[in-house]
Amino acid sequence: MPARSEGGRGAVPRHVAIIMDGNGRWAKRRLLPRTAGHRAGVTVLTPLLETAGRMGVEFLTLYAFSTENWIRPESEVNTLMELFLETARSKVPELNERGARLRFMGRREKLPAAVCEAIEEAERLTAHNDRLNVYIALNYGGRSEIVDAARRIVADGVPPEELDEATFGRYLYAPEAPEVDLVIRTSGELRVSNFLLWQIAYAEFYVTETLWPDFSPEEFVKAIEWFGTRSRRRGGV
Ligand code: IPE
Ligand code: IPE
Ligand code: MG
C-alpha cells in the first residue's frame, strides 16, 4: 500500500490547501458589488470543513487574504476585515464543537486590532481540538513567510552549516503542519499568487473553473478523488 499521502490507489491527501478565488467575478456576473461575492464565499466554508473532516483530510489551509490584497479599494478591504470578524463570531463556536483546531498564518501587525483579538480567541478556544487542523492564511504571503523565517534564523544565531531544509522548515509559520499534498484553486487561474511557496514543492494541483462561492462539497470530493489517481514520483521514476 502507498503511504497515505503518496497519491495513487485512492489515497487521501493529508494536507489540502485552497486558493479561494473568484468571489469578485461571481458578483460581477450577477451585477452585484464585489463584497456580495465575498459574503457568498463564506457560506461555502461550513459544508467544506464538514466534508474534509469526513473524508479524512487532517490539515486544511485556506487562503483568505494575501499580503498583496491591501492594494484593493479601501472599501473592499474594510468589508473583508469586517467579514472576517463576523465569520469568526458566527463560525468559531460551531467549528470548536466539531473538534476543529483553528490557526492563522500571516503577518499580524498590519491587521486591525479587533481581527487580531478574534484570531487569538479562536486559537485559544480551539487549541485542544485535534479532529481537523484548519489554517487561515490572512495577510499571508509566501515570500513574507520565507523572509520572516530567515530573520528569525539569523536572530537565533543558527550557524550556516547547521541550516538545512528541516531546520528552515521549523521556522515557518506552521512548522507542525506536514507539507501540502494537494492545492485546489477555484476560478481557473493557473498561478500560485504567493501562496505557500515552500510547502507546495511537490504538491499536486487541481484547478477548477468554478468560482469560489459555487464551490460545492461534491467538487471537493472530486478533487480528492482526482488526487487519488495521481502518481507522485517526487523526482523518481
Ligand atoms: C478571492 O476572490 C477572495 C480574496 C482574494 C479576498 P477575489 O476577490 O480575488 O475574486 P476575483 O478573482 O476578483 O473574481
Ligand atoms: C489569491 O487571489 C489570494 C486569495 C485567494 C486570498 P488573488 O485574486 O488575490 O490573486 P491574483 O490577483 O489573481 O493573482
Ligand atoms: Mg482573485
Residue with cell 528552515: 168
Averaged pLDDT, groups of 10, the chain, 237 residues long: 61 98 98 98 97 97 98 98 97 96 97 98 97 98 98 98 98 98 98 98 98 98 97 91
Residue with cell 494575501: 66
**Residue owning the nearest CA to atom 12 of ligand 2:** 193
Distance in Å, CA 20 to ligand 2 centroid: 8
CA distances from 100 to 43, 50, 59, 191 (A): 17, 10, 10, 29
Residue 9: predicted pLDDT: 74
Q: Is 69 an annotated catalytic residue?
A: yes
**The C-alpha cell that represents 188 in the structure block:** 481557473
Residue 190: predicted pLDDT: 98
Residue 42: predicted pLDDT: 97
Identify whether the C-beta of residue 146 lies closer than 8 Å to the C-beta of residue 105. Answer: no
Ligand 2 pocket test: pick from 18, 20, 28, 69 the residue with the most ligand atoms within 8 Å of its Cβ: 69
From 23, 69, 139, 194, the catalytic residue: 69
For 1-26, write each residue's pLDDT tens digit.
445 566 667 899 999 999 999 999 99
Q: Which atom of ligand 2 is nearest to the CA of 212?
A: 5
Encode 145-214 in three state secondary structure. Answer: HHHHHHHHHHHCCCCHHHCCHHHHHCCCCCCCCCCCCEEEECCCCCCCCCCCCCCCCCCEEEECCCCHHH
Q: Which domains does the chain have, with CATH numbers?
A: 15-227 (3.40.1180.10)
Distance in Å, CA 208 to ligand 1 centroid: 15
Distance in Å, CA 189 to ligand 3 centroid: 8
Question: b/e string for 59-90 if b means 16 or more Cβ within 10 A?
Answer: bbbbbbbbbebeeeeeeeeebbbebbeebbee
Surrounding residues of ion ligand 3, Cβ less than 5 A? 21
Q: Which atom of ligand 2 is nearest to the CA of 140?
A: 6
**Residue owning the nearest CA to atom 1 of ligand 2:** 193
pTM over cut 0.85 = yes
Distance in Å, CA 21 to ligand 3 centroid: 5
CA distances from 162 to 32, 52, 152, 219 (A): 54, 38, 14, 44
Q: Which atom of ligand 1 is nearest to the CA of 64?
A: 6
Distance in Å, CA 52 to ligand 2 centroid: 22
Q: Which atom of ligand 2 is nearest to the CA of 69?
A: 9
